[in-house]
Amino acid sequence: MSTSTPNLIAPPPPAGAPPAETAPSQTYDEGQAFGRMVGFAGLFGLVLGAVVILTNQALTPRWIGSGWGFLIAATGIVLMLYHASKDGEQEVRRLYGMLAAAFLVLGVGASVLKGPIFSSAATKTFGYNILPWGVTFGALSLVFAIPFVRHETDRRYRDAAILAMLGIGALLAIGSIVVGLAKPDTLVGPGVALALLGLAFLCAYMTQVDTSEGIGYQVAFLLGAVGAAVAAWAFARSAFPPVLVEGPNAIRKVTGEIDLWKLIPRLVSIAIFLGVAVLAYRAKSLQGWVRAAIIATGLGAAALFALASVKANLIATSPAPYLVPTGVILMGLGLLYLGVALAICSDNQFVTLTRRELAAFFLSPVGFLVLAGMAAIEWLGYVFFIAEVQAVSRQRPMDEPIVSQYFVALIPVIGLLLEVPALTMRLVAEEKRTGSLEVLMTAPVNEWPVIGSKFLATWLFFMLTWVPCGLYLIALRAEGGVPFDYRPMLSFYIALGAQGLAFVGLGLLFSTLTRNQIIAAVLTFAVMILFLATYLVRFQAIPFVPPLLQTLLGKLSFIHMWQESLGGRLPLRDVLVFASIGVFSLFLSVKVLEARKWS
């Protein structure tokens, strides 16, 4: 009997046979290593910055000041947000979700505690810490909740976070306006900040749900309805009482005769309100109750203006002024709510193109570079401003408005001169060069929606780049407890918005005249230099310039308009001049684009 040992070595496969299948080896995902290193560095920066800020607030000023603490903490938050947006692992996203909840608790706690916290003062005020700590922690909660919701796969946690966004946003957006209507003084500062934070929460909610139908559409529609109602109320409360008090005297001369120059604006106002009612009647796509409300509002306003033109003493006593700052704030917030709702709900051609153009700024490096550059320039201006405030306050109290020395300075002017060409040079010139403009014009659209959407989207982004300039002032209160009047900022941003219409309109016009975006940028920069030169023309006599021309050129000085607005003097004629330049530039841009049909 013979025995044989088993062959422990497999025979080689025959020629031409596929290789034998082997078990997969264990692999590790190394793709998140860089992101987690960035996140850890951000966490370290956030903790270090928080320690620096707290020690400077609770103890005597340290070697590293609060300004550097804010900068270090902000850098750490940016790095953590980068990691949160890239890493969707369950442990990581849940940690960031808990961080968002922790920031929310801190925001609520800071808002309800009496302040100032780090002070031995006998009397402390409820809600003192809403600015900057409550709003800042609330904003941080939102920015960390967004990537958590985007990455979360468990519907229980995701739905809970989305509903929390809706509840917090509705409470802040509507509650701040309701409180502001009852107590107008709360609108300046904390009220505006809370209303904007609530709008941000609602926008984050609507980006996570379907807004074409269902509850998402209803939330957007209600947001627009609330915005329209608030804006209409603020306008009516600001405009109607003075008109009803003055009666026919508002359109008459001292001698009792009708003043034609006062009668024409009154007739134009009546025609505008009647036009709104007619447009609402013809807008069959709107819901019945919306059309009825708009028609009633238009007819009622026209009737009040007409009645006040023929009958006196409709109101016995003149009410207190309401337009500044309460009326301006409420109208601004109402129009902002309405604009956001229209941008989300509307399928209008112009609205759709505006969304496309505005999204293009956030999908290209140019938009982020401009936004980051302006934020850095404005931060540098804030650093110099703080140094000046600290130096002057040691000798004497600073005169109001102290923010005039913050905005009217060399650094913001340089930022404005560089920003406008960077934003407008690519609008049409780049589309002409690549041929995408011809593709766009083959769609069933004409020149007006195309150019108008570019104009509006660029103007909105232009105003967005100046938001950090105002947000930095929130830290002024935390930096040294420096109180200042917020109201001059309102008139400044109105002036800046009117000037932005002119600057963006001219940049858009030059972009339509050429295919080369560098040429468009150079032409826009040259015009911006001319606007800057008008400041010198206004205050210095030039022999070869006629006095009338010098006066007209002086009206184009945007720096002088900044000074006037920050001093509480905002001439309506100057606002209309810059707005008219923007509208006329928009008209010329459309005509230039239409001229291509004949070339």
Residue 54 lies in a domain: yes
Mean pLDDT within 580-589: 92
Give, to the nearest 10 degrees, the angle between helix 487-513 and helix 410-424. 40
Distances 567 to 412, 486, 532, 538 between C-alpha atoms, Å: 18, 12, 20, 18
| Distance from C-alpha of 161 to C-alpha of 104, rounded to nearest angstrom | 12
Mean pLDDT within 478-490: 66
Find, among 489, 403, 487, the residue nearest to 185 by Cα: 487
pLDDT at 131 over 50: yes
Average pLDDT, the chain: 83
236 and 188 part of one domain: no
- Looking at 59-68, 207-216, 263-272, which range is the least confident one? 59-68
Mean pLDDT within 312-328: 76
Residue 282 lies in a domain: yes
Residue 17 lies in a domain: no
384 and 485 part of one domain: yes
Work out the percent of the chain whose per-residue pLDDT is above 70: 87
Residue 21 lies in a domain: no
Residue 335 lies in a domain: no
pLDDT at 184 over 60: yes
pTM: 0.76
579 and 456 part of one domain: yes
Alpha-carbon 509 to chain mean position? 24
| Beta-bridge mates of residue 258 | 252
pLDDT score recorded for residue 566: 86
| Distance from C-alpha of 258 to C-alpha of 254, rounded to nearest angstrom | 9
Q: In this predicted model, what pLDDT tens digit does every residue of 436-450 receive, in sequence order?
A: 877 777 777 788 889
Residue 22 lies in a domain: no
Q: In this predicted model, what pLDDT tens digit does every residue of 389-424 receive, in sequence order?
A: 777 767 766 666 778 888 888 899 999 999 999 999
Give, to the nearest 10 degrees, the angle between helix 66-86 and helix 90-112. 140
261 and 145 part of one domain: no
Reported confidence tier of residue 7, pLDDT bands at 50, 70, 90 = very low
Of 328, 358, 374, the one marking the end of a domain is 328
274 and 385 part of one domain: no
pLDDT score recorded for residue 597: 64
| Distance from C-alpha of 169 to C-alpha of 153, rounded to nearest angstrom | 23
Of 213, 247, 281, the one marking the end of a domain is 213
Residue 457 lies in a domain: yes
51 and 93 part of one domain: yes
pLDDT at 485 over 80: no
| Distance from C-alpha of 335 to C-alpha of 198, rounded to nearest angstrom | 15
Reported confidence tier of residue 2, pLDDT bands at 50, 70, 90 = very low
pLDDT score recorded for residue 333: 92
Work out the percent of the chain whose per-residue pLDDT is above 90: 33
Of 153, 186, 213, the one marking the end of a domain is 213
pLDDT at 124 over 90: no
CA atoms in the 13 A half-sphere facing the CB of 324: 12
Q: 17 or 157: whose pLDDT is higher?
A: 157
513 and 572 part of one domain: yes
pLDDT at 261 over 50: yes
481 and 558 part of one domain: yes
- In which domain, by residue range, is 62 found? 35-213
Range picked from 97-101, 216-220, 425-429, 513-517 for highest mean pLDDT: 97-101
Mean pLDDT within 346-373: 86
202 and 104 part of one domain: yes
H-type alpha helices, 250-348: 260-282, 288-308, 328-345
- Looking at 228-237, 337-346, 570-579, which range is the least confident one? 570-579
Find, among 376, 342, 329, 379, the residue nearest to 494 by Cα: 329
Range picked from 51-60, 442-451, 498-507 for highest mean pLDDT: 498-507
- Give the number of domains in the chain: 3
pLDDT score recorded for residue 14: 60
Number of Cβ within 10 Å of residue 144's Cβ equals: 23
491 and 364 part of one domain: yes
pLDDT score recorded for residue 107: 93
| Distance from C-alpha of 582 to C-alpha of 458, rounded to nearest angstrom | 12
pLDDT score recorded for residue 598: 66
SS (H, E, C) 104-157: HHHHHHHHHCEECCCCCCCCCEECHHHCCHHHHHHHHHHHHHHHHHHHCCCHHH
| Distance from C-alpha of 377 to C-alpha of 375, rounded to nearest angstrom | 6
Reported confidence tier of residue 9, pLDDT bands at 50, 70, 90 = very low
Residue 287 lies in a domain: yes
State the DSSP string of 74-85.
Answer: HHHHHHHHHHHH
399 and 511 part of one domain: yes
259 and 201 part of one domain: no
pLDDT score recorded for residue 199: 94
State the DSSP string of 253-274.
Answer: -TTS-B-HHHHHHHHHHHHHHH
- Looking at 13-17, 431-435, 556-560, which range is the least confident one? 13-17
Find, among 525, 496, 358, the residue nearest to 425 by Cα: 525
pLDDT at 302 over 60: yes
Q: In this predicted model, what pLDDT tens digit does every residue of 29-42 receive, in sequence order?
A: 445 788 899 999 99
Is residue 468 exposed (0-12), middle (13-18) or buried (19+ Cβ within 10 Å)? middle
Residues 6+ apart with CB under 8 A from 165: 142, 145, 149, 201, 202, 204, 205, 208
pLDDT score recorded for residue 265: 76
Q: 546 or 5: whose pLDDT is higher?
A: 546
| Distance from C-alpha of 388 to C-alpha of 385, rounded to nearest angstrom | 5
* Cα–Cα–Cα angle for 487, 578, 506, rounded to 5 degrees: 125
pLDDT at 192 over 90: no
